[in-house]
């Protein structure tokens, strides 16, 4: 490509800077915003957690009063699930997936920008509520009738019901976007059997989000209607049912756990082969395992409700289905171990450390997961600290550890600078040791009879010893995570330049510069195998497409879903302010309705205006692609 | 230099080892005092069987997978070694799919076996004369009793437990007295939000829902007292919603029940008469029933036999005269958010009220 064309390309894809950057729609900018915001929320939730565990470290301690404690644990759970885990996994997907499949942007960049603003507004609303002392206070799963108008008359649950409904719009937009992008924008030649496993994982969770989040939105809309309009969906006295909430919530809530875990598995399946310097063994079983988990996770939700008196025949089905998750998980664990085994020499860099550390933690979380799937044992440990320990092993050990590995792995691509290896390894060991001290001990506290969500306990309960061990572990764990935050900041200023491919990794995102140019790839990459960069090097092939896409406008190539043969040009929108305006308008409708129902029609009308602005016709032009011009 | 550094390191190790030993000791201690692991009744015992099956399997699985991982990470790698992909894929198939599958089938068999046992003794029993379910005859081997020896109704309130013995006409709170080695049917419901009934030494949890009744069973081998606690977040008083389950010999229980069934005695001394008047004047009777005085109160616990209880405020305080006084004057600082407002009153009134309460044996 000549210099003129490159300049054109750069001009066409350049994102606005300064104040105008709110109009940016590019996937790398939106992805970075998601990741950065997610990390901020993680830090906030961590501070809440440390305060709570300090409160619980000895009997009758008075750090938090019960109301503050209730708001803290609700916000901790809500933040970690809704404001941290799902957005940051989607954020990594939004940033990395187009690069991994050789695309220049997502399919609907304006939609992803809109999703981000919605997420930001919802998160700020919830934390503003916390600062006002009016944060949700009925737990992140917010059971009615406690969360209903009769027993929670304050604004607290109004914030939950409206902000969560609103927030999930963002998750769904990102999911729709990623599905279309993965199906339609893969580089020529990246047929289904060549898709990187991380992309499969993102595809899997995107479908899960599309099916799991609407029930939650329906549930929380019913709740908002009960509270704000006076309907009786959950009012027992008038024929409503609190169980309806539980079913709707857990129909979402269980897949949610895998929506967080599956991208983490995908990260592990990406990082291990890179540092083992060989392909993953059993690619197909691993992809099938991800698919099976995505599907089966929709048949598990009743295992959160075993303590209700439900027919035991019905419960046994959910018990067996929950245990069955052990099979696809086992397949993946052994595929990872097998890949490490088959390596001719491991490269012990920080990302690998986090991912190898993940395996025993996930194993423990999986084993206790099978334990709590056994109905009788679950009667004892559900809603006790044993469960708290279990899901922290799965969610922190099983998802945040790989996520941190992925940060060490991919942030050099994002920032162009390597993070400190030494600091990274110290950070890992603090987190790993602290995590185990804190949460392994917590299993025992649960077996000793300590329920969840108690803000204090008496001297006679005897939980002081183990809870103070947990506090010590939590402090070490927090130090570990904080060191990684410090490492990220350090790397921005002092990190060594990363180069295009610091890890000698096999996937396409490493074929472009770090950080990638605004257009990602100067020419659309052609894919011949699952590990294009390795095979290219080995065989000396270097084919590129004769590029027929305009470099004057934001245009990229669309391919067919199965074989990824080129079939169309996709014109991608330019920066636009309308996503932000639409997000604000929808926010006025949802958040405003807490205070006055009139805000809902007002917000709806404003949204309509914003949508008109959004869809105002630009200078679109579609041309047929001449197939013969692609040589691959 | 070398030598001394080594020695220093060896010395530095000792406290770490001690710390580890201390942590291990604490954990073992925790294991020994954990009610879930030291079951005291048939139901918790049957649940514990599940643990006894799962725990060794878990240890084996954990150790085997971890050893495999360690070998994979740290094995000697010979230069130019060939690779055996088939072996790797076999490992994925056996380790990842077939072995977990077998383990899960074993566990599921035990799950169903326990469910059948528990529901035949428990769940099916209250429907006597009806169809006994899918499996046929109830398992009556252990415990011997086929029918409930005692029925107790428990209503979850804000934030305490109303305990009713329907066949004896007794209403009390936060304490369940039951015969040792006998089958007690507990019928659970709630008057407002969801609660969960949990006495870990005797049985797992059962959720309490407003508008519906769920059953659970209690059984204790020995005479003792077992702590229970609400396990479903139910609002601001959740942490201080505890109860006590007391297993007694048949004779002791009869004495207890017959005493509880009597109405409260009329006050006789001057002070207690005045105390009763204070009880009415201050409006206590609006929330607390005392059989023989007033049955109107429904918000707080029935106080007819207040003195027979070991604790007050749902297991928050030991039931002493001093604690009762502190609770009356300022319950909100003891159990924040509870339904009882503070009742500041002149000391003489308080003394009289306490004297009256002392008669409620």
**For A29-45, what is the mean pLDDT?**
97
Using the 8-state DSSP alphabet, how is residue B142 labeled? Answer: S
Collapsing DSSP states into helix, strand and coil, what is residue A575? coil
What mean pLDDT is reported for chain A?
A: 92
A632 pLDDT above the threshold of 60: no
> Closest Cα to residue A439, out of A405, A403, A401, A404?
A401
CB contacts under 8 A, B 254-313 vs A, are none
Is B254 inside a domain boundary? no
Same domain (yes/no): B291, B230: no
For residues B149 and B245, the model is more confident at B245
Quote the CA–CA distance of A448 and A22 in Å, as a whole number: 52
Same domain (yes/no): B108, B216: yes
For residue B213, give its domain range. Answer: 34-73+89-125+132-245
> Closest Cα to residue B148, out of B116, B110, B187, B100?
B187
Sign of the CA dihedral running B184, A461, B255, B213: negative
In which residue are the tokens 């005291």 written?
B40
Query: What percent of chain B has a predicted confidence (pLDDT) above 70?
Result: 84
Same domain (yes/no): B195, B301: no
Same domain (yes/no): B227, B313: no
A277: left (phi over 0), alpha (psi -120 to 50) or beta: left
Q: What is the dihedral of CA A592, A596, A600, A601, to 10 degrees?
A: -140
Q: Do A309 and B215 touch (CB under 8 A)?
A: yes
Same domain (yes/no): B94, B188: yes
How many Cα neighbours within 13 Å face the side chain of A104? 27
Q: Smallest Cβ distance to A367: which of B61, B108, B110? A: B61
Quote the CA–CA distance of A24 and A576 in Å, as a whole number: 7
Q: Do A307 and B206 touch (CB under 8 A)?
A: yes
pLDDT for position B2: 39
Whether B64 has its CB under 8 Å from any CB of chain A: the answer is: no
Residue A421 to chain B, least CA–CA distance (Å)? 19
Nearest chain B residue to A66 by CA: give it.
B236
Tokens coding A165: 């409904």
CATH of the domain at B43: 2.60.40.420
Q: Do B336 and A67 touch (CB under 8 A)?
A: yes
pLDDT confidence band for B144 (50 / 70 / 90): very low
Is B285 inside a domain boundary? yes
In chain B, residues with a C-beta closer than 8 Å to the C-beta of A334 are: 68, 91-92, 95-96
In chain B, residues with a C-beta closer than 8 Å to the C-beta of A378 are: 204
Residue B337 to chain A, least CA–CA distance (Å)? 8
B311 pLDDT above the threshold of 80: yes
pLDDT confidence band for B29 (50 / 70 / 90): low
CB-based contact A34:A87 (threshold 8 Å): yes
Using one digit for the tens of pLDDT, what is the confidence trace for B88-98?
A: 889 999 999 99
Quote the CA–CA distance of A89 and A35 in Å, as a whole number: 8
Using one digit for the tens of pLDDT, what is the confidence trace for A471-517?
A: 999 999 999 999 999 999 999 999 999 999 999 999 999 999 999 99
**Helix A464-494 crosses helix A27-56 at what angle (to 10 degrees)?**
150
In chain B, residues with a C-beta closer than 8 Å to the C-beta of A320 are: 104, 108
Lowest mean pLDDT among A2-11, A195-204, B238-247: A2-11
Same domain (yes/no): B96, B218: yes
Is B211 inside a domain boundary? yes
Q: Smallest Cβ distance to A449: which of B116, B229, B239? A: B229
Is B159 inside a domain boundary? yes
Count of CB pairs separated by less than 8 Å, A with B: 262
Is B7 inside a domain boundary? no
> Closest Cα to residue A452, out of A73, A65, A75?
A73
Ranges of H-type helices in B34-98: 42-74, 85-91
Q: Do B233 and A143 touch (CB under 8 A)?
A: yes
Same domain (yes/no): B297, B342: yes
Same domain (yes/no): B238, B314: no
Q: Do A462 and B114 touch (CB under 8 A)?
A: no
Cβ-based neighbours of A512, under 8 Å, separated by 6 or more: A99, A500, A520, A521
Residue B3 to chain A, least CA–CA distance (Å)? 27
Give chain B's domain count.
2
pLDDT for position A551: 75
pLDDT for position A32: 97
Which of these three, B245, B262, B292, is where a domain ends?
B245
Complete DSSP assignment for A50-78: HHHHHHHSSTT--SS-HHHHHHHHHHHHH
Using one digit for the tens of pLDDT, what is the confidence trace for B218-247?
A: 999 999 999 999 999 999 999 999 999 999
Q: Smallest Cβ distance to B231: which of A146, A327, A451? A: A451
pLDDT confidence band for A183 (50 / 70 / 90): very high
**For A51-62, what is the mean pLDDT?**
96
Residue from A313, A374, A382, A473 whose CB has the most chain B CBs within 10 Å, to mutate: A374
A630 pLDDT above the threshold of 50: no
Q: Smallest Cβ distance to A146: which of B54, B194, B316? A: B194
In which residue are the tokens 């080695």 written?
B181
Same domain (yes/no): B296, B151: no
The answer to whether the predicted template modeling score (pTM) of the entire model surpasses 0.80 is: yes
Is B8 inside a domain boundary? no
CB-based contact A342:B80 (threshold 8 Å): no
Predicted interface score ipTM higher than 0.85? yes
Q: Smallest Cβ distance to A466: which of B30, B88, B112? A: B30
Quote the CA–CA distance of B43 and B203 in Å, as a whole number: 5
Using one digit for the tens of pLDDT, what is the confidence trace for B319-346?
A: 999 999 999 999 999 999 999 999 999 9
Query: What percent of chain A has a predicted confidence (pLDDT) above 70?
Result: 95
Collapsing DSSP states into helix, strand and coil, what is residue B241? coil
**For A195-199, what is the mean pLDDT?**
97
Complete DSSP assignment for A109-173: HHHHHHHHHHHHHHHHHHHHHHHTT----STTTT-TTTTSTTT--SSHHHHHHHHHHHHHHHHHH
Using one digit for the tens of pLDDT, what is the confidence trace for A426-476?
A: 999 999 999 999 999 999 999 999 999 999 999 999 999 999 999 999 999
Whether B225 has its CB under 8 Å from any CB of chain A: the answer is: no
Whether B124 has its CB under 8 Å from any CB of chain A: the answer is: no
Which of these three, B182, B210, B245, is where a domain ends?
B245
Same domain (yes/no): B197, B288: no
Quote the CA–CA distance of A350 and A333 in Å, as a whole number: 20
Is B79 inside a domain boundary? no
Residue B298 to chain A, least CA–CA distance (Å)? 18
Cis peptide before A515 (omega within 30 of 0): yes
Cβ-based neighbours of A493, under 8 Å, separated by 6 or more: none
Whether B214 has its CB under 8 Å from any CB of chain A: the answer is: yes
Maximum alpha-carbon separation in chain A: 81
Q: Smallest Cβ distance to B236: which of A70, A320, A444? A: A70
In which residue are the tokens 């029609």 written?
A601
Same domain (yes/no): B148, B278: no
In chain B, residues with a C-beta closer than 8 Å to the C-beta of A341 are: 68, 71-72, 75, 88, 91
Same domain (yes/no): B65, B207: yes
pLDDT for position B127: 40
Is B287 inside a domain boundary? yes
Tokens coding A506: 């096999």
Collapsing DSSP states into helix, strand and coil, what is residue A345? coil
Q: Do B205 and A380 touch (CB under 8 A)?
A: yes
Q: Do A377 and B50 touch (CB under 8 A)?
A: yes
> Closest Cα to residue B158, out of A269, A373, A145?
A145
Whether B60 has its CB under 8 Å from any CB of chain A: the answer is: no
Tokens coding A496: 């060594």
Quote the CA–CA distance of A239 and A451 in Å, as a whole number: 31
């Amino acid at each position: 490509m000549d210099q003129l064309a490159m300049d054109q390309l750069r001009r066409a894809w350049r994102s606005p800077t300064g104040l105008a950057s709110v109009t940016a729609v590019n996937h790398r900018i939106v992805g970075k915003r998601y990741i950065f915001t997610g990390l901020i929320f993680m830090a906030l939730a961590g501070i809440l957690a440390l305060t709570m565990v300090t409160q619980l470290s000895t009997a009758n301690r008075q750090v938090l009063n019960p109301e503050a404690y209730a708001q803290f644990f609700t916000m901790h759970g809500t933040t970690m699930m809704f404001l941290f885990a799902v957005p940051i996994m989607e954020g990594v997907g939004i940033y990395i997936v187009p690069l991994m499949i050789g695309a220049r942007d997502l399919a609907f960049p304006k939609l992803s920008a809109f999703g981000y603003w919605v997420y930001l507004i919802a998160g700020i609303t919830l934390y503003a509520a916390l600062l006002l002392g009016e944060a949700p206070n009925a737990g992140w799963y917010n059971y009615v009738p406690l969360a209903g108008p009769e027993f929670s008359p304050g604004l607290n649950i109004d914030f939950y019901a409206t902000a969560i409904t609103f927030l999930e719009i963002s998750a769904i937009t990102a999911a729709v976007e990623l599905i279309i992008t993965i199906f339609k924008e893969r580089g020529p030649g990246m047929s289904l059997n060549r898709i990187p496993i991380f992309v499969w994982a993102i595809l899997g969770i995107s479908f899960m989000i599309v099916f799991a989040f609407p029930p939650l939105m329906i549930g929380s809309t019913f709740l908002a209607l009960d509270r704000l309009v006076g309907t009786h969906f959950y009012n027992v006295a008038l024929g409503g049912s609190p169980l309806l909430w539980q079913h709707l919530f857990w129909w979402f809530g269980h897949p949610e756990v895998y929506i967080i875990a599956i991208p983490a598995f995908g990260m592990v399946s990406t990082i291990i082969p890179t540092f083992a310097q060989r392909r993953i063994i059993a690619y197909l079983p691993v992809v099938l395992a991800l698919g099976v988990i995505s599907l089966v996770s929709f048949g598990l939700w009743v295992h959160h409700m075993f303590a209700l008196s439900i027919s035991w025949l019905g419960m046994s089905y959910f018990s067996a289905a929950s245990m069955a998750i052990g099979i696809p998980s086992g397949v993946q664990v052994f595929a990872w171990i097998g890949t490490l085994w088959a390596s001719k020499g491991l490269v012990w860099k920080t990302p690998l450390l986090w991912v190898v550390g993940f395996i025993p933690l996930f194993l423990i979380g999986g084993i206790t997961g099978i334990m709590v799937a056994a109905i009788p044992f679950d009667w004892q440990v559900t809603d006790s600290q044993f469960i708290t320990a279990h899901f922290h092993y799965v969610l922190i050990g099983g998802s945040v550890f790989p996520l941190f590995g992925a940060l060490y792995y991919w942030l050099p691509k994002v920032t162009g600078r390597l993070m400190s290896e030494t600091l990274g390894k110290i950070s890992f060991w603090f987190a790993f040791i602290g995590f185990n001290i804190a949460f392994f001990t917590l299993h025992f506290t649960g077996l000793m009879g300590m329920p969840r969500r108690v803000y204090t306990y008496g001297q006679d309960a005897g939980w002081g010893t183990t809870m103070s061990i947990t506090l010590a572990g939590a402090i070490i764990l927090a130090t570990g995570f904080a060191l990684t935050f410090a490492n990220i900041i350090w790397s921005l200023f002092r990190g060594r330049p990363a180069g295009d491919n610091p890890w000698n990794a096999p996937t396409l995102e490493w074929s472009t510069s770090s950080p990638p140019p605004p257009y990602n790839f100067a020419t659309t990459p052609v894919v011949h195998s699952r590990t294009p960069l390795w095979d290219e090097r080995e065989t000396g092939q270097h084919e590129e497409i004769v590029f027929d896409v305009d470099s004057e406008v934001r245009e990229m190539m669309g391919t067919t879903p199965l074989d990824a043969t080129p079939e169309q040009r996709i014109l991608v929108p330019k920066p636009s302010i309308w996503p932000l305006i639409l997000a604000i308008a929808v926010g006025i409708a949802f958040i405003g309705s807490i205070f006055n129902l009139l805000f809902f029609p007002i917000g709806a009308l404003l949204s309509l205006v914003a949508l008109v602005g959004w869809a105002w016709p630009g200078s679109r032009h579609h041309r047929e692609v001449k197939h013969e011009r692609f040589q691959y | 230099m070398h030598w001394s550094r080594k020695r220093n390191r060896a010395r530095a190790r000792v406290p770490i080892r001690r710390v580890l030993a201390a942590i291990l000791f604490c954990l073992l201690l925790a294991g020994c005092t954990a009610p879930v692991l030291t079951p005291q009744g048939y139901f918790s015992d049957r649940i514990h069987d599940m643990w006894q099956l799962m725990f060794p399997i878990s240890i084996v699985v954990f150790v085997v997978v971890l050893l495999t991982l360690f070998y994979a990470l740290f094995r000697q790698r010979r230069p130019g070694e060939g690779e055996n992909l088939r072996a790797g894929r076999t490992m994925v198939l056996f380790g990842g799919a077939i072995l977990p599958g077998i383990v899960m089938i074993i566990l599921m068999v035990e799950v169903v076996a326990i469910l059948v046992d528990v529901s035949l003794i428990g769940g099916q029993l209250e429907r006597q004369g009806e169809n006994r379910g899918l499996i046929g005859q109830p398992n009556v081997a252990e415990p011997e009793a086929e029918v409930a020896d005692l029925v107790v109704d428990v209503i979850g309130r804000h934030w305490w437990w109303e305990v009713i013995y329907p066949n004896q006409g007794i209403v009390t709170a936060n304490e369940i007295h039951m015969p040792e080695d006998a089958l007690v049917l507990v019928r659970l419901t709630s008057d407002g939000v969801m609660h969960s009934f949990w006495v870990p030494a005797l049985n797992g949890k059962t959720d309490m829902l407003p508008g519906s009744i769920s059953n659970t069973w209690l059984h204790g081998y020995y005479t003792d007292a077992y702590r229970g606690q609400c396990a479903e977040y139910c609002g601001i008083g959740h942490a201080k919603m505890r109860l006590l389950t007391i297993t007694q010999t048949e004779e002791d229980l009869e004495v207890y029940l017959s005493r509880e069934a009597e109405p409260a005695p009329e006050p006789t001394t001057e002070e207690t008469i005045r105390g009763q008047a204070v009880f009415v004047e201050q409006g206590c009777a609006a929330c607390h029933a005392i059989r023989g005085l007033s049955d109107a109160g429904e918000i707080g616990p029935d106080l007819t036999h207040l003195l027979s209880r070991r604790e007050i405020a749902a297991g928050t305080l030991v039931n002493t005269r001093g604690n009762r006084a502190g609770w009356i004057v300022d319950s909100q600082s003891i159990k924040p958010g509870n339904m009882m407002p503070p009742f500041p009153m002149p000391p003489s009134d308080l003394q009289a009220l306490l004297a009256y309460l002392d008669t409620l044996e």
